[in-house]
């Protein structure tokens, strides 16, 4: 029998309920604005959910980054932080934990995940080189291309098929990887990057057996293997529950086995460790020395790397808590519960359910909105209108235009409804399913978006858009017919 509790507690009624294995002892008041106000607010925010003030958001499902609920042990540890610029005791504690956690001798602190990506790209990417990865992430790619490099995706076929039963859609296609390495030759490849688990294809995990093969091949070819472990907590849970060989293996041993396949492991501490920060765990002294001097240059002195020592203490505890399967089960089982409720209403969502959040398939939700009119961005606006729920566009809007100004049409058009760890209740998830279900019944009313102001890099963060036609008013009128209070 598996060693975790959630899978052994059965409701006598037979209902599949994602039981919380924690209780709330600190809460935050949130506000639900009526639909007419929501219409005004989203337009003031340039129809971009990144630009919404949080006070106008009822359920903030934008991301799980830096917004996970922390444990009492994490808050307690923050009081013990040693606030010194150099040689902080807090750093030594975190360094020791990272060493034990990943089994790597060296640790470089950085203020968040993309700061690690900056250091990695600055050190290893040269103009004309390529990073081979299972799937890119927005900030990773931006740092690589900023330095004249490019990204090649060698993800398995079917990774972007939204309705799938494949348990490890984040896996590499070994044949694609091998062919690319043969074609380019070792000198043209900066490193092989394994995103474990993936973000943009819907929180889909990578299996340990696939990682092992990718690593063995890459190392034989003399290539460096870098793991992005930002989403490791969810991926660990899926290895434990979907990969038979690891069902009984303790989580700390699984993590050590994962990192044994890498030369460098970096992470966003806003996700892994449930606080705010980041870091790079390094196996060889040579790599450590190559990257080390960039930390004081970009981040802060080597013993804090731009992080607050309080956050470092919280990450220290958070990493240890990641090794408790009942703790890391909470996001995946809530994603599954929300996914099941939406599926029951016919709403197209990414399957199998992954980590990170529930992902709506905008290509199927609003097939009448062409990709040049940003269907997932439009869906993000519509979901805010329908429920005050803030999701994140993960589609063409999140891509960068080509050199010639043409749109890079994304393989997938997703609206991510992130499920930050231990934040939301089941009734709140029921509310989301209800409002998205209502929206699905009125999906024909949803129209597209056009840019009003388009930044050159990472345009999804700060870009401002306007509706293509007056579909928003019609949607609001339909909502008021069914929900006359506007709430």
Q: How far is the C-alpha of 225 from the C-alpha of 172, rounded, in Å?
A: 13
Neighbours of 464 (CB within 10 A): 17
Annotated catalytic residue 320: no
Strands, E assignment, 167-263: 189-195, 225-228
Smallest separation, CB 278 to ligand F0G (Å): 5
User: 180 or 276, CB closer to ligand F0G?
Assistant: 276
- Active-site residue identified among 10, 85, 92, 457: 85
Which listed residue (46, 273, 278, 420) binds ligand F0G by CB under 6 A?
A: 278
What DSSP string describes 140-173?
A: HHHHHHHTT-EEEE-BPTTTT-SB---TTTT-B-
User: 112 or 472, CB closer to ligand F0G?
Assistant: 112
- C-alpha distances (whole Å) from 476 to each of 222, 357, 472 are 58, 26, 6
CB-based contact 440:432 (threshold 8 Å): no
- Residue 112 binds ligand F0G, judged by CB under 6 A: yes
Annotated catalytic residue 38: no
Cβ-based neighbours of 25, under 8 Å, separated by 6 or more = 72
Pairing outcome for strands 449-453 and 189-195: unpaired
Smallest separation, CB 121 to ligand F0G (Å): 12
Which listed residue (81, 231, 262, 335) binds ligand F0G by CB under 6 A?
A: 231
Which listed residue (18, 109, 113, 448) binds ligand F0G by CB under 6 A?
A: 113
Which listed residue (95, 153, 228, 313) binds ligand F0G by CB under 6 A?
A: 228
- Active-site residue identified among 193, 276, 394, 435: 394
The interface region with ligand F0G, picked from 14-22, 106-114, 154-162, 424-432 by CB under 6 A, is: 106-114
User: 114 or 261, CB closer to ligand F0G?
Assistant: 114
Annotated catalytic residue 188: no
Cβ-based neighbours of 353, under 8 Å, separated by 6 or more = 332, 335, 336, 339
User: 173 or 234, CB closer to ligand F0G?
Assistant: 234
Which listed residue (230, 329, 371, 472) binds ligand F0G by CB under 6 A?
A: 230
Question: Which structure tokens are listed for 472?
Answer: 């928003």
Annotated catalytic residue 353: no
Which listed residue (4, 156, 240, 270) binds ligand F0G by CB under 6 A?
A: 270
User: 45 or 227, CB closer to ligand F0G?
Assistant: 227
User: 139 or 322, CB closer to ligand F0G?
Assistant: 139
User: 39 or 389, CB closer to ligand F0G?
Assistant: 389
Q: Please identify the residue of the shown chain whose CB is closest to the bound ligand F0G.
A: 113
To which H or E segment does residue 130 belong?
strand 130-133
- Residue 63 binds ligand F0G, judged by CB under 6 A: yes
Q: How far is the C-alpha of 472 from the C-alpha of 480, rounded, in Å?
A: 12
Q: What is the DSSP letter of 276?
A: S
Q: Look at residues 221, 305, 217, 215 and name the one whose alpha carbon lies nearest to residue 269.
A: 305
- Residue 137 binds ligand F0G, judged by CB under 6 A: yes
- Residue 65 binds ligand F0G, judged by CB under 6 A: yes
- Active-site residue identified among 122, 123, 138, 343: 138
Smallest separation, CB 122 to ligand F0G (Å): 15
* Binding string, residues 183-212; x marks residues near ligand F0G by CB under 6 A: ------------x---x-------------
User: 111 or 373, CB closer to ligand F0G?
Assistant: 111
Q: What is the DSSP letter of 397?
A: G
Annotated catalytic residue 85: yes
Annotated catalytic residue 23: no
Q: How far is the C-alpha of 408 from the C-alpha of 398, rounded, in Å?
A: 9
- Please identify which residue in the block is written with the tokens 């009984």: 248
Specify the 3-state DSSP secondary structure of 369. coil
* Phi (first) and psi of residue 477, to 5 degrees: -60, -40
Convert 245-283 to b/e letters by CB count within 10 Å (16 or more is b): ebeeeebeebbebbbebbbbbbbbbbbbbbbbbbbbbbb
- Active-site residue identified among 102, 107, 137, 172: 137
Annotated catalytic residue 466: no
What DSSP string describes 91-109?
A: HHHHHHHHHHHH--SEEEE
Query: Considering CB under 6 A, how many residues would be counted as binding ligand F0G?
Result: 15
Smallest separation, CB 229 to ligand F0G (Å): 9
Q: How far is the C-alpha of 275 from the C-alpha of 37, rounded, in Å?
A: 33
The interface region with ligand F0G, picked from 40-48, 50-58, 225-233, 359-367 by CB under 6 A, is: 225-233
Angle, CA of 252, 254 and 255, to the nearest 5°: 65
Cβ-based neighbours of 388, under 8 Å, separated by 6 or more = 32, 33, 38, 56, 57, 58, 59
- Residue 139 binds ligand F0G, judged by CB under 6 A: yes
| Residues annotated as part of the active site | 85, 137-138, 228, 271, 394, 460
Name the residues that contact ligand F0G, by CB under 6 A. Answer: 63, 65, 112-114, 137, 139, 195, 199, 228, 230-231, 268, 270, 278
């Amino acid at each position: 029998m598996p060693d975790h509790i959630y899978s052994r507690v059965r409701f006598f009624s037979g209902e599949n309920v994602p039981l919380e294995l924690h209780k709330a002892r600190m809460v935050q008041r949130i506000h639900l604005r009526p639909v007419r106000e929501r219409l005004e607010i989203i337009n003031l925010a340039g129809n971009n959910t990144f630009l919404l003030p949080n006070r106008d958001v009822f359920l903030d499902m934008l991301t799980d980054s830096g917004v996970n609920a922390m444990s009492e042990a994490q808050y307690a540890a923050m009081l013990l932080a040693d606030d010194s610029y150099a040689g902080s005791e807090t750093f030594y504690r975190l360094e020791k934990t990272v060493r034990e956690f990943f089994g790597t001798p060296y640790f470089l602190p950085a203020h968040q995940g993309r700061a690690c990506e900056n250091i990695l790209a600055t050190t290893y990417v040269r103009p004309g080189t390529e990073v081979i990865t299972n799937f890119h992430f927005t900030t990773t790619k931006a740092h690589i291309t900023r330095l004249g490099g490019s990204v090649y995706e060698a993800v398995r076929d079917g990774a972007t098929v939204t309705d799938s039963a494949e348990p490890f859609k984040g896996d590499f296609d070994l044949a694609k990887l091998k062919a690319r390495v043969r074609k380019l030759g070792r000198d043209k490849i900066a490193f092989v990057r394994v995103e474990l688990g993936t973000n943009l294809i819907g929180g889909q995990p990578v299996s340990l057996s696939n990682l092992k093969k990718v690593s063995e091949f890459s190392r034989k070819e003399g290539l460096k293997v870098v793991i992005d472990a930002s989403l490791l907590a969810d991926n660990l849970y899926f290895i434990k529950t979907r990969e038979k060989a690891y069902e009984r293996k303790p989580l700390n041993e699984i993590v050590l086995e994962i990192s044994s396949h890498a030369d460098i492991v970096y992470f966003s501490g806003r996700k892994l460790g449930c606080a705010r920060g980041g870091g790079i765990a390094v196996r060889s002294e040579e790599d450590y020395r190559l990257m080390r001097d960039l930390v004081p240059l970009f981040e802060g002195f080597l013993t804090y790397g731009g992080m607050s020592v309080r956050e470092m203490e919280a990450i220290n505890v958070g990493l240890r808590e990641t090794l408790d399967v009942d703790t890391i089960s909470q996001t995946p089982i809530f994603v599954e519960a929300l996914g099941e409720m939406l599926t029951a209403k016919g709403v197209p969502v990414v399957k199998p359910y992954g980590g990170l959040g529930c992902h709506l398939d905008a290509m199927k939700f609003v097939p009448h909105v062409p990709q040049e009119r940003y269907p997932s961005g439009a869906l993000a606006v519509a979901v805010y209108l329908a429920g005050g729920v803030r999701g994140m566009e993960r589609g063409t809007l999140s891509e960068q235009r080509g050199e010639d100004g043409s749109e890079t049409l994304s393989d997938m058009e997703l609206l991510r409804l992130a499920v930050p760890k231990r934040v939301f209740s089941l009734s709140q998830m029921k509310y989301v399913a209800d409002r998205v279900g209502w929206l699905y019944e009125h999906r024909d009313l949803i129209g597209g978006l056009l840019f009003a102001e388009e930044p050159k890099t990472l345009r999804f963060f700060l870009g401002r858009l306007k509706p293509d036609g007056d579909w928003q008013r019609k949607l609001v009128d339909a909502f008021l017919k069914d929900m006359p209070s506007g709430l």
